[in-house]
Structure 1
Amino acid sequence: MKRLVLFLFTVCATCVAMAQSVTLLPAPRSYASADKGFTINYKTKISCDKGAIPAGEYLASKLGIGTAMDGDIHLAIDSRLGSEEYQLSIFSEGITIVGGDYGGVFNGVTTLLQLLPVEVYSSNLVLPCTVKGCVINDAPRYNHRGFMLDVCRTWMSKGDLMSFIDLLAYHKINSLRLHLTDDEAWRIEIKSHPELAKVGGYRGVGSPVWARYGKWNKKWGGYYTQDDIRDIVAYAAQRNIEIIPEIDLPDHSHCLARVHPEVLCDTDHNSSAALGYDTRSVVCATNEANYTLIEDILGEVCALFPSTYIHVGGDEVDMSEWKRCPDCSAFMRRTNMYTTEELRDYFMLRLSEILEKNGKLMAVWGDAVSGDNLPKTTHVYGWESVDSCREVAAAGYPTIVMPGDYFYFDMKQSEHEAGHDWAAIFDVQKVYNFSPSAVGFTESEAKSIIGLEASFFSELYASHNPESPAYLHYMTFPRLLAFAEVAWIGVDVRNWNSFHKRVCRYYDKLDAMGVYYRLDAPKIEYADGRLSASVSDGSTLFYRQEGSSKVMRYMAPIATESPSRYRFISRRGRAISPTAAVDEYFETITPRFDITSSMKDSWNFPFDKAENYGRIARTTRAADVDDWVMFSFETAVSCRKMKVATGNFQLPRYIFEAGDVYVSYDGEEFVKVGVLENGAYVIENPSQPIKAVRIVCTSRGNGAAWVSIQPPTIYPVIE
């Protein structure tokens, strides 16, 4: 207890000391100023212990200087320090970084970079420059500080991936799990089965894998060759990041099944609802040929990645196919299995054996675990909830904690922003406030935690201009800064206000890194006929008036009797805030309406669910050309904006992939007003009250067995 109190005191004192001089993220354990700093010039040289040479080369490239046997900046390894622990000393005579291992040295390098002018991140550092004198002693709380990146739903090129690795490395993230296979794509070359990547790496037109989430009218995608993988692994290793591959099995294997249909169970599958497209995604657990294929795949994966662990999924397994499969049923009878969960365990144990033959250990998602069904060497990634993380930790599995409602960065950051919301809507402050004890981990359960991991699943990235990293960055930063500090310092008592101030001061560095980060939403106030907006981060405020396309710079409070006519954003370089306005701006209306369609509604998602504005409705099949959906209002609706959409909330899936939108002002005559984009259309400023809207499909199928229909989102006229 005394050590813990001392540690908390040291961290708090460190933050106070830094607040007066420098901005470091994550905060180090201890920071002490020194009288004089060191001036780096073009004659400065870097020297390294043998085990630290890659870190020295990295630092030299950042500073634009060379290396020597006896340098002014020295990187050393001292095994008396702990894993990834480091000491950074800056005096007038030079700079020394001592690490307990290579990771410790590199951590010291990243701290040194944060002490330098921001231009060090954009390759524009001007020498000479002086670094403030200080002594920093630092070590991580968790050995695993990870990030999971989904490159399946949205393809990321090798160059874009390496750029993102740089951003992780700057903030002491030491593990990147690459989600390389899923229903939508196969992103890694397997030389013994080249068709997996050459065919399965692409979806859409000309591919057996149906387009999902975007890029509907083209063949789109890519994959990493084995040479690419070697380059990525080496690039990350220099930056103290271990790449952990994920090959998702036995479910999330739709892409695999589209390339190799023989991996599926031999069942009488009816694909008529999907207009002939086989939507199945789970491989047969008792087909011995599947294990031969998987052994080929995992054998090559194990050879490519130096990581001790290989992640093999095990999540969200649809076992209904196994129940209907005669081979699976016969196998279960023969081996005295009573549940398909036992069959899943059998499958996962077979994967564990394959990995062990290749000198690796297994990692899985939390829902693959049920009691003691898997070897206790298995690394388990808990994701469904805090309670699910606690369950696997209580069972004694080495646990990586990544609950969706804290660490899934594909979740919305506020109600009116893009993103999922199935886990939670949360911003950077909730991430920063996470601690195992605060969310209920007992002392015994906490002992099983080996680290934390954040993640970004990329379903929505595909429809948000994936040619730019803007959406990925916006969803990730500054939440990643909070995660990095939580995973690094690990203490339960943190000061949000202090952290937030450091983040705002850190924006200059994010700008230099080229990050399209999210700014705080402007604060809006309306009183006495005056509408005011403010920011606390030094960004520039802009506003737009409803009905106008002109964007104005905000300079002073606006005199108005209609505050809901105005919306505000702030900008700073590439960074942007979410839209802010008075609450009335976001209000919607819910007039009575009926849904009719050329397609029948499903019994469990009938049209009246959407008619009550609470849920989506579903049809009983996918749409064909000329199928239609119509929204008929009891009374013609006056509005400033109306969004009509097929597909799930927030997600362009189960949609009309293409369609025309027609509006009727009398319920009889219809006029075309536009075409669907990602399954939806927004009617802006209609000239008359709307009596009905009809969407007519102009494409065939959607890769699924139904169409989802959302209730319209209707914004009232602003007086």
Structure 2
Amino acid sequence: MSRIVTSKFSRCLVIVWLATTGVAVAVPAVPQWSLLPQPAKASPIGSGATEIANGAVVSVHGADRQQMQSIAERFVQRVADTNGLNLRVATTDAAHPVITFDVNPNAGITDDAGYRITVDDSGILVTARTPRGAFYGSVTLWQLLTPPGWTRGAPVEVAHGVIDDHPRFAWRALLLDSGRHYQSVADIKKLIDWMSLNKLNVLLWHLTEDQGWRLEIPKYPELTKIGACRKAVGLDSELTGSADLPYCGFYTEAEARDIVRYAAERYVDVVPEIDLPGHSQAAVAAYPWLGVTGKRPSVWTDWGVSPWLLKPDEKTLQFVDDVLDEVMRLFPSRYISMGGDEADKQQWNASPDVRAQMHKLSLANMDQLQGWFTNQVAEHLIKHGRTPVGWDDELVAGATLPASEVVMSWHGNDNERVALAAIKQGHDVVMTPQESLYFDHYQSDLPDEWQGPPPAATLRQAYDTVVIPNGASATEAQRIIGVQGGLWTEQMPTFAHGQHAVFPRIAALSELGWSPSSAHDWNGFLQRMPAELARYRALGIDYADSAFAPAFHVTATANGAFQIELSNQVAFGTIRYTTDGSDPTNQSTPYAQPITLPGNATLRAATFAPDGLELTAPRTQVLDETTLLSRDSSALATCSKQPASHLEGGKSARGSRPIYSVDIGNACWLWPQAPLNGVKHVVMTVERITWRFGDEAKDAVVRRKANASGEFEIHADSCTGPLLARLPLESAMQAKGQSRLDAKVAMPAGAGVRNLCVFATGDPRDGQWALARMVFSK
């Protein structure tokens, strides 16, 4: 079949009158365009549709035929893989193609990355000035062929109209940290694929860290022979299989070139980051003369900020030049990142040689010395035609950065004052505020949320990221060249965790980077998310459903029953529930008002989109005599009143890993208004987590132990109030995984509803205690 195009004007009508019978018959409306990121301009006609079915012919016209043939073939493969339609790419000019890609350098299209899609009775035409623009057009066309509620393998009707689209920013990036945890080449390629389908075009590849040097440099073989391996501490031992097997991994030159080539085919620019002078402990471990102490440290096994900086002298600069020369051979990107963040200068300050160097250069402080060092590196890059990129830390410290440096601004606090200072100094700036676009941060306070540092960075916070600093003039605003999400991997050991962290927040990042500011509409974004989540599933992406997942708020009623309120983070979708323990379906009872249930019931709930798509996995609330007398750590406050970290425990017998809410360095929790009438016994489930939290050590809270192993204590009213229970930790000290502790509760006079303080004694740096759950009984 050479032509499968059908005009469907009548399908835009909800009701069609049959004149012969006078009966009204419902006819499905043409699915609305549900596109993400939202195009610069989308103009549906309001009537008519083109049907795309199996066998539809895809043709390539115009310039760059070989590149376009490849783009068309990947588009056809994507359609087949995700929605099961088998389209056919014509090898020669087809007489009547259904879909046509036309590259015309003189087309009236905005931007080289722009495109126009026209859907009418003739079929679908994608027009662009360049293959890059045509590629982005193919992504949008794939979304048109996966509308809300599509059925795999069934013909798809695409509403008539015109889409004129181009990106808002030139830099639309995701940072991938391969230094803390290594990802396979195959997984990085998957991530690049998925980035490109979100119209992101920069992978900032963080390749060197205190915890590992990940790029082969033939002139300095010890960088990967020594610097790419660390001891398997904590959960790393589960990844290697044994605490005696080191955690290792690096990318050969051939692998780096392969990733660069693969990314270029998908119009993603790989920007390498060689972080210096900080985050360099692995380099100093390989070559101790790079440091200032003369000693060889181990490759770091902690997370945080290490004090092992590169020595700011000519020998080190020659090493850096050699490394960057090799990096420039491997990575053709115009941009090279030299890092510059979190340089803890305690070793510099203690070094007579470094202080002498500072005075020799007539510099006032160590921040200025770092600025001098950075300028030397930047000049080497500029001399070779590259543009240096770095973090905003030196601006925070008041130092001056190289004039040509692109600044990645991660300090988003104080109304983006650092980014504003950077653009006022004439720097191009990439907005990547940690508060909303660091995707290692957890996404909700749900008890099953994955591990990550605090505070939460929700889908809404990501979407509402300020990309133009307040106070910037129209001219200064042009210095903002893009946005970037950060996938930092201290607490992200697996690619599955990376998927959970990136998706669906990447959708918010995509829209920030691509769509015009006039299209920014949170409610509209939510309406388009169900179709996007369905595409994630079709692509095999294991995304986080945290934003849509039901949360349970349970209270007691006067007659001893339970009242349950259901909600979700974004107040979107229909929450449906069952009370018999079965999984909810899109036909289950919709939640409309608080539910009252007796004890010994199991409530299960899930959220559904308007088209019936299940947005979340079901969540469960068991209602019994322990419901109001128990708390997971996620439902407790920290004693410092600071947001808790979510830390991962060891693998259980069932293969799952518990997640704990912990104030690192302060093993202390608060349970306000605990109902303690008649309570006589308590059971606690705890786990000891290996301390590897680096610079958190200085703030650790040490509590006096009553015995050598320490204990958990429960106090009423305050952390120094009446002691209710003491649970010794001797049996849990050497346990792998969780331990169960139990004790009698000594209730003071006047017991009833009381505030509780629960803490572990001892020094958390010897092992951070985590609390899974505590249950009182009568």
Question: What is the TM-score with the length of structure 1 in the denominator?
Answer: 0.75
Query: Does residue 1:99 correspond to 2:128, yes or no?
Result: yes
Q: Matched residues in 1 for 2:469 and 2:712: separation?
A: 55
Deviation at residue 640 of structure 1 after TM alignment: 4.4
CA shift for structure 1 position 228: 1.3
Cross-structure match for 1:252: 279
2:93 maps to 70
In structure 1, how many angstroms separate the alpha carbons of the residues matched to 2:381 and 2:91? 43
What pairs with 1:636-715 in structure 2 (closer than 5 Å)? Answer: 638-643=681-686, 645-646=688-689, 672-673=731-732, 675=734, 682-684=738-740, 686=742, 707=766, 709=768, 715=774
The CA deviation string for residues 326-346 of structure 1, in whole angstroms up to 9 with x for no partner, is: 222222222222211121011
AA in 2 matched with 1:23: S
Indicate the residue corresponding to 1:406 in structure 2: 436
Give runs of aligned pairs for residues 89-128 of structure 1, distance below 5 A. Answer: 89-117=118-146, 126=153
Deviation at 1:647, TM superposition (A): 6.0
Match of 2:333 in 1: 307
SS state at 1:37 partner:
strand
Structure 2 counterpart SS, 1:285: coil
Deviations 1:48-71 (Å, cap 9, x if unpaired)?
Answer: 444364353133134153343424
Alpha-carbon contact 1:285-1:347 (below 8 Å) kept: yes
> Which of residues 387, 405, 412 is equivalent to 2:417?
387
CA RMSD of aligned residues (A): 4.6
User: SS of the counterpart of 2:312?
Assistant: coil
2:750 matched residue in structure 1: none
1:643 counterpart letter in structure 2: V
| 1:521 Cα offset (Å) | 2.1
The question of whether the paired residues in 2 share the 8 Å contact of 1:588 and 1:716 is answered with no
- 1:234 partnered with 2:261: yes
**Equivalence map 1:531-546=2 (5 Å):** 531=564, 533=566, 537=573
Counterparts of 1:566-581 in structure 2 under 5 Å? 576=617
Question: Of 323, 331, 337, which aligns to 2:363?
Answer: 337
SS state at 2:372 partner: helix
Aligned to 1:86: 115
Choose the corresponding residue for 2:665, options 616, 619, 635. Answer: 616
**Partner of 1:185 in structure 2?**
212
- Displacement after TM superposition at 1:181 (Å): 0.8
CA drift of 1:42 comes to: 3.6
Mean Cα deviation higher: 443-452 or 576-585: 576-585
CA contact (8 A) 2:276 2:340 kept: yes
Q: Which residue of 2 aligns with 1:31?
A: 42
Match of 2:544, SS state, is coil
The structural deviation recorded for 1:508 is: 1.5
The correspondence for 2:583, drawn from 553, 567, 576, is: 553
Aligned: 1:491 with 2:522: no
Structure 1: any 5+ residue segments left out of the alignment? 1-17, 545-550, 592-612, 619-635, 698-704
d(CA) in 1 for partners of 2:410 and 2:735?
A: 34
Local SS of the residue matching 1:461: coil
After superposition, the Cα gap between the structure-2 partners of 1:338 and 1:398, relative to the gap in structure 1 and judged at 3 Å, is same
C-alpha distance in structure 1 between counterparts of 2:614 and 2:696, whole Å? 33
**Cα separation, 1, equivalents of 2:344 and 2:477:** 31
Deviations 1:492-535 (A, max 9, x none): 56322221121023222111011111221215465864436477
Distance of aligned partners of 1:70 and 1:640 in 2 relative to their CA distance in 1, 3 Å threshold:
farther
Matched, 1:500 2:543: no
What is the 5 A alignment of 1:271-290? 280-286=307-313, 288-290=314-316
* Residue matched to 1:361: 387
**Partner letter of residue 432 of structure 1?**
Y
1:522 partner amino acid: P
- Aligned positions of 1:119-518 closer than 5 A: 126=153, 131-204=158-231, 217=243, 218-266=245-293, 280-286=307-313, 288-369=314-395, 373-385=400-412, 386-416=416-446, 417-422=449-454, 424-436=455-467, 441-462=472-493, 466=494, 469-491=495-517, 494-518=520-544
* CA 1:539–1:565: 2 relative to 1, 3 Å: closer
Residues 620-664 of structure 1, C-alpha deviations (whole Å, 9 max, x = no match): xxxxxxxxxxxxxxxx99444343545679999979xxxx99979
Using a 3 Å threshold, how does the CA distance of structure 1 residues 144 and 647 change in structure 2: closer, same or farther? Answer: same
Q: Secondary structure at the match of 1:177?
A: strand
- 1:346-399: CA deviations, max 9, x gaps? 110111122123321210001134668333221110002222222212222000
| Equivalent residue number for residue 550 of structure 2 | 522
Alpha-carbon distance in 1 for matches of 2:635, 2:777: 11
Contact 1:214 1:652 in 2 (8 A): no
Q: How far apart, in 2, do the equivalents of 1:541 and 1:187 lie? A: 48
User: In structure 1, what is the Cα distance between the partners aligned to 2:487 and 2:140?
Assistant: 25
- In 1, Cα distance between the equivalents of 2:471 and 2:777? 46
Query: In structure 2, how many angstroms separate the alpha carbons of the residues matched to 1:652 and 1:675?
Result: 26
- Counterpart of 1:547 in structure 2 is none
Deviation at 1:565, TM superposition (A): 9.0
Distance 1:617 1:28 in 2: 48
- Superimposed CA distance per residue, residues 686-705 of structure 1 (whole angstroms, 9 cap, x where no aligned partner): 475699999999xxxxxxx9
Matched to 2:686, the amino acid is: K
Structure 2 residues not aligned, in runs of 5+: 1-28, 78-87, 640-661, 668-678, 701-707, 714-724, 748-757
CA distance in 2, matches of 1:430, 1:532: 24
The 3-state SS of whatever aligns with 2:224 is helix
1:411 Cα deviation after fit:
1.1
SS in 1 for 2:39: coil
- Match for 2:69: what amino acid? G
Q: Distance in 2 between matches of 1:170 and 1:203?
A: 35
Whole-Å separation in 2 of the counterparts to 1:641 and 1:706: 21
Change (3 A) 1:589 1:421: closer
Distance 1:662 1:263, change over 3 A: same
Mark the CA change 1:248 to 1:541 in structure 2 (over 3 Å): closer, same or farther.
Answer: farther
Task: Check conservation: 1:246, 1:311, Cα contact below 8 A.
Answer: yes
Instruction: Give % identity.
Output: 22
Residues 33-48 of structure 1 aligned to structure 2 (within 5 Å): 33=44, 35-37=48-50, 39=52, 41-42=54-55, 44-48=57-61
Distance 1:394 1:104, change over 3 A: same
Tell me which structure has the larger Cα radius of gyration. 2
Q: Which amino acid aligns with 1:70?
A: D
TM-score between both structures, scaled by the size of structure 2? 0.70
Q: CA deviation at 1:471?
A: 1.7
- Equivalent pairs counted in the alignment come to 630
Q: Is the 8 A contact 1:267 1:325 kept in 2?
A: no
Going from structure 1 to structure 2, the CA distance change for 1:333 and 1:203 (only over 3 Å counts) comes to: same
Contact 1:213 1:652 in 2 (8 A): no
Instruction: Please say which of residues 638-647 and 355-364 is displaced more in the overlay.
Output: 638-647
Match of 1:600 in 2: none
SS in 1 for 2:542: coil
- Give, in whole Å, the separation in 1 of the partners of 2:52 and 2:424: 52
Deviation at 1:577, TM superposition (A): 7.4
> 2:74 maps to which residue?
61
